[in-house]
Amino acid sequence: MKADKVIATYRRMRIQPLWRLLASDHGPTIVGLLQSHLYEKERSLPASILFERLTRDLEELRAQGDDLPQTAQAYVANWLSDGYLERRFPPGATEEEYELSTATVAAIRFLSGIAEPHAAATESRLSLVIQALVGLAEDTDTDKHRRIARLRTEQARIDKEIEAIQKGEMRVLPRDSALERTREIITLADDLTGDFRRVRDQFEQLNRELRERIMDSEGNRGEVLDSLFAGIDLIAESEAGRTFSAFWRLLTDPEQAAMLDESLESVMSREFVSELDMRERRFLLRLTRNLLEQGGAVHEVLQTFARSLKHFVQSREYLEQRRVNQLLKEAQRAALGIKNEVKATESLEYSLELTSSRLRSLSQWMLFDPSLQAAPDQMREGEPPPIDLESVSELVAQSEIDFRTLKEHVRSLLEQRDQASIGDVLDQFPASQGLGSVVGLLALGSRHGIKGDSVETVAWVGEDEQGRRARIPKIFFLKDRIDELV
């Protein structure tokens, strides 16, 4: 039966938060409360503010006869465990914050679409489809003659329209059509902002999957580890990562951002905008800020996951986790080996001591008071030690260095002379990566250069626009070894 797969899919979906929320006896109350506090205005709230607002709403609902015996904190805890809410602790925050889960956002959109249906077959929607198809056909056409012919046709149309405007024959979109198109844009933009949660969930899932693949890979190195040690950002290079990176580049492009702001300002000054309701006008006014805020949050999540995954590998923490997994599997195999000899209800002559932590009240801790300590002597300037080659490998492992550009600089200099030191390279090509350029050249020199008996002083400008100097071993790159720098 062809319906088997569909039925099985729906059965799996029935236990998911989205379906359970819609089927819940208290679903209308839950969706209404969460929508009013975490969807229509703010998209996230600190715990204390959310508890306060929910407490006020619960009291009003109880006065109307609703049976809501629990506290706001208890309901939030239940919604969190049911998957209706997500809890995060942003950097620099003093308390945790709550926001809607992807499932809850989808439920609100579904119910809102039923409560306030929009006309499905509209002129503006058809126009958007036609424009998208025409653009796709043009952008994928490899015939230069057809593309030139279309451009000339478009040029003639534009010239004709300019001539008509100069004659005073200006065609302005009717009021009803303008409102229809504006609401269609709001719907599309609202869907776009709502997709950020789904994209972030995809990154979280990908981060977990990559860590699981690292843990489950056999031997010393696996495909994921090889890619990470090669400096490849697997999360950014994923399909979701590339899609979001393209979106983020377009959103943060200065020309596109200026065009968006100018267009929004022009639209908001039109007379037909007064017929939009307050929510629609507020959405348009906050569109750019919402896109940047929510897109920036996803971008930060992407960067955080990439850094944490790289640290997970470079700190060799994955080896400890892999060892724990191995011990657990060995214990499970041993248990399966004696399953026929020991009954499940049989008492074993063995006691296991569990470890625990000592919990103490915060009031038992004494804060350190520096004023009770003796004042330190005047600080004396010390001579900085030179950078040694042994520490370079560790610095390289902890840095993201553009070795390709550094190799091009060295090759370019060796085409003009027989040998060049690191200082010569930096004199000709200033350190665009700051200390990273110095460390990268030291790493290249240790592999492809010859170390001299003396040291040299190199200088560069850091990201804070402050000059820096360091003494490094004098290493020479030779012209007869230029082929190694490929």
Same domain, yes or no, for 107 and 194? Answer: no
**CA-based end-to-end distance of the chain:** 60
Same domain, yes or no, for 87 and 196? Answer: no
Q: What is the mean pLDDT of the chain?
A: 80
Q: What is the pLDDT of residue 82?
A: 92
CB atoms within 10 A of CB 191: 10
Q: Domain boundary residue among 335, 352, 381?
A: 335
In the chain, the number of structural domains is 3
128 lies in a domain? no
How distant, in Å, are the alpha carbons of 34, 48, 85, 183 from that of 43?
Answer: 10, 15, 11, 21
Structure tokens at 367: 């804060």
Q: What is the pTM of this model?
A: 0.54
Q: Name the residue among 369, 350, 444 with its Cα closest to residue 406.
A: 444
> Rounded to whole angstroms, how far apart are CA atoms 272 and 268?
9
Answer whether 239's CB lies under 8 Å from 206's CB. Answer: no
149 lies in a domain? no
The single residue listed with the structure tokens 């049911």 is 82
Query: Which CATH number characterizes residue 18's domain?
Result: 1.10.10.10
CB atoms within 10 A of CB 100: 23
Burial of residue 29 (number of CB atoms within 10 Å: 0-12, 13-18, 19+): middle
Same domain, yes or no, for 186 and 314? Answer: yes
Confidence of residue 418 (pLDDT cuts 50, 70, 90): confident
Same domain, yes or no, for 187 and 259? Answer: yes
Least trusted range by pLDDT, from 50-54, 66-70, 163-167: 163-167
Same domain, yes or no, for 223 and 317? Answer: yes
Same domain, yes or no, for 192 and 313? Answer: yes
Supply the DSSP string of 72-119, one letter for each residue: HHHHHHHHHHHTSEEEE--TT-SS-EEEE-HHHHHHHHHHHHHHSPPP
Portion of the chain with pLDDT greater than 90, in percent:
8
Confidence of residue 98 (pLDDT cuts 50, 70, 90): very high
Q: What is the pLDDT of residue 58?
A: 92
Q: What is the pLDDT of residue 257?
A: 82
Looking at the DSSP bridge assignments, the partners of residue 45 are: 98
Q: Domain boundary residue among 115, 141, 161?
A: 115
Give 4-52 pLDDT, tens digit per residue: 888 888 888 888 888 999 998 889 999 999 999 988 777 888 989 999 9
What residue numbers bound the domain in which 254 lies?
Answer: 176-335
- Give mean pLDDT, residues 207-223: 68
> Rounded to whole angstroms, how far apart are CA atoms 483 and 486?
6
Structure tokens at 34: 């969460």
- Give mean pLDDT, residues 131-157: 85
Q: What is the pLDDT of residue 388?
A: 59
Looking at the DSSP bridge assignments, the partners of residue 471 are: 457
356 lies in a domain? no
Structure tokens at 96: 């945790």
Same domain, yes or no, for 324 and 421? Answer: no
> Rounded to whole angstroms, how far apart are CA atoms 159 and 309?
55
Q: Name the residue among 41, 36, 31, 16 with its Cα closest to residue 75.
A: 31
Q: What is the pLDDT of residue 55?
A: 93
> Rounded to whole angstroms, how far apart are CA atoms 93 and 81?
23
The single residue listed with the structure tokens 């090889």 is 226
Structure tokens at 135: 């653009």
Looking at the DSSP bridge assignments, the partners of residue 451 are: 475
Confidence of residue 397 (pLDDT cuts 50, 70, 90): low
The amino acid sitting at 50 is L
